[in-house]
Amino acid sequence: MITFLALCCAIRSSSDPIVTPYFRKEALAIKSIVPVLPTVARFGVEELNVNLGATYDNPFDPSDVSLDAEVTPPKGAAYSLPGFFSRPFERSLVNGKEKLTPTGDGEWKLRICPTEAGTYRVIVKLRDRSGVTQSSPFEFKTTDSTSHGLVRLSPRNHEYFEYSDGTAYFPIGANVCWGNDKGTYSYDDWIPAYGKVGANYMRFWLGPSWVTFAMEVSGKTEEGQGFGQFELPNAWRLDRELTQAQANGLNVMLTIDSYNTLRAHDAYPAWDHAPANKDNGGPIRIWTDFWTNASVDQVYRSKLRYLVARYSAYSNLMSWEFWNEVDLTEDYSPEVVQAWHRRMGDELRAIDPYHHLVTTSLSDSMGNRNLDLLPELDYDQTHSYNNPDVAGGVLVQQSRKSEWGKAHYVGEIGADASGPRASEDPAGIQIHDPLWMSVATGSSGTAMPWWWDNLIAPNNLYGLFGAVANFTKGIDWPGEDFKRTNIEIGYQTPPKIAVRKDLALENGPVQWSDGESNKPHFVTIQGEKADGDLPLPGIQHGVRNHRDWHNPVRFKVNLAKDTRFETIVGDVSGYGGAVLQISIDGDPVMTREFKTAENGTQGASSSKFSGNYGITVPKGEHTVLVENIGNDWFMAGYRFVDLVKRVAPPIQGWAVEGNSSALVWLRAEGRTWRNVVVNKVKTPTTPPSFVTLVGLAAGDWKSEVWDTWKGTALSSHMIHVGLNGRARVDVRSFDKDLALKLTRIDSQRR
């Protein structure tokens, strides 16, 4: 066969189909259609095995051969559905690594997701280079089920999700993008662990070529790999894990591609292994041609068709994600990439009969409004790393992007983009805090942590997701129409001696593109208040690598007494380091060099310089300049120590109010990830306090105080809200955090 394939490849033109090991030369015929199940439950998967004859070289190229079905539901309108070429495998674990062995030849299948109970009618159509044929009508029966159905944007409120039957869906889970050496055996451990605690979401990657579920890998054409073919062993793996996820109550985002495939230098490049690369037999020499090359375009459309054919029938497929962090593709052009998303978004909508949600993602936490607001994309995401509070990334971006009018959640989050810091953070504060900040700021789902295999699994942190699942159970997110609200926090017994606190300007936005955050900032400190260019950016860019983003911060102060001022340094760039310089009235008073790898040399960001770098600013009027005069960036925050008279307990709080619910997250002041994990600050126990919410509907409400780590209610009592809309909830002392849940009782809604 290899000699035959080599001959064919030598004589065919560039427009001819690729000759694969799955080629066939038979008379065109549909010989039989055999259902895997005689009846199937509504929102299950009906799989039809189609025994056919045809002449083709590449079963993945619909211009060479195509199998389609016209599906007529019991009541709804008929729709078209593509079929796909497959191959069965069995797995084994050999020396700790998964091995797949074929158990049969290639076969053709159709997968249908019946959304109605009753009798379905199917006509199968087959086309090859010789012509077209079709089957007689085929019928199968569907029984009713308790399934909620497919995930949709809620028609009641497009900023939240719900199932086909109108049940609210609030995604809670993590990125579980690829397996370790054990392949799918690793998912046998992970998936049930998430499902057991009530998590309902995870994310799988289908690229680049080294991931467990990679759809395209470079290799020899005669071995079923390379440009224009899809990787059947990995497709089998994905079948298996989608099925297992469904059995455990987990919906899945399928990420079709990651930036690595179109990156040739640094940041985990994978262009050298990309099937589209001319060096690997593909049609393009330069990665940027991916976005416009006709041959690449055609194969990508074929890939979309294959994915829809094979996986769209899974009702637990929450969404397609075109790209992971598309702005990291090399020589990224926003305009070209936006045009591609519009084109492929239209294609995907046209061929997916079940209208699964569609999204994409960027590495820049600030997002790109022009891309994020494309009508071809159903909802937005944020990826957030290296924020000293971690949860602060959720707060900032949810506050911004909630105004964009789309559903939004943080699709990736972690304390440090370069590693899990697992030994330092065994309790998973970097997971816990973003989960609860998401709930209390009105996100469409929880922030989804990274580091599933080297932080969550080894430390058995699944219970963190279970706590949120317990707390949010039964909430009708679209119906509540949650809005952010301010809360009042007070002492149950005020202190006899006044205490002071820091004026902290921390956890600001981190931007990796042109924008307001990456410009010089000016802030006035008058008395105990800050005014000006707020919020301050959470990063200071240097003067070499991104000189156009250089963003020093200038403070104009008028202090009643000598005051300590601190710059809070987080991670430092691994591509040249940084230099912190603090000046008073134009004179440098502190310079600190943070030396890491030289520019152009790939290096992980460094946390060894993390800490507070302080000076004393004399009383009176002065100008304090904080500037990075080094090569690249450092993460930054700012603090005037003991500047402000404390009038409330040392508690931070965030809250949302809805039509019949209010959700509050309270955290001991200063208990950020960096303070606890890096700076080893022990947060003092808070005094007994109270929280007052305003704007609630008059009537009787049930108030619960929750332990956010165990996911259990600590106390519950009834409160009456008068016409002023105010409700007070007393809170015991705590040293970490608590959550409050207020629910208007049914008798008052009628």
- 265-308 pLDDT, tens digit per residue, is 988 999 999 999 999 999 999 999 999 999 999 999 999 999 99
Contacts of 69 by beta carbon, 8 Å cutoff, 6+ apart: 48, 80, 81, 82, 83, 110, 112, 122, 123, 124, 125
3-class SS at 616? Answer: strand
CA distance 308 to 622: 63
3-class SS at 402? Answer: helix
Q: What is the pLDDT of residue 388?
A: 85
Q: C-alpha angle with apex 744: 738 to 746, nearest 5 degrees?
A: 140
Q: C-alpha angle with apex 80: 114 to 133, nearest 5 degrees?
A: 120
Of 42, 78, 321, 308, the closest CA to residue 164 belongs to: 42
CATH T-level topology, domain 22-143: Immunoglobulin-like (2.60.40)
CATH T-level topology, domain 484-495+649-748: Immunoglobulin-like (2.60.40)
3-class SS at 257? Answer: strand
CATH T-level topology, domain 170-474: TIM Barrel (3.20.20)
CA distance 453 to 182: 12
CATH T-level topology, domain 500-645: Jelly Rolls (2.60.120)
- 374-398 pLDDT, tens digit per residue, is 999 999 999 999 888 999 999 999 9
Of 145, 146, 163, the closest CA to residue 154 belongs to: 163
CB hemisphere CA count around 600 (13 angstroms): 1
* Cα dist from 461 to 93, 174, 369, whole Å: 26, 11, 34
Nearest 10 degrees: Cα torsion 285, 287, 293, 295:
70
Strand residue runs (E) in 296-406: 317-324, 357-359, 379-385
Q: Torsion-angle region of residue 139: left (phi > 0), alpha (psi -120 to 50) or beta?
A: beta
Q: Residue ranges of the chain with pLDDT lower than 50?
A: 1-14, 599-601, 747-750
Q: Do domains 484-495+649-748 and 500-645 have the same CATH topology?
A: no
Of 176, 169, 659, 203, the closest CA to residue 444 belongs to: 169
Query: In angstroms, how far is CA 23 from the centroid of its own chain?
Result: 39
Q: Where are the domains of the chain?
A: 22-143, 170-474, 484-495+649-748, 500-645
Q: What is the pLDDT of residue 509?
A: 87
Strand-pair category, 317-324 with 357-359: parallel
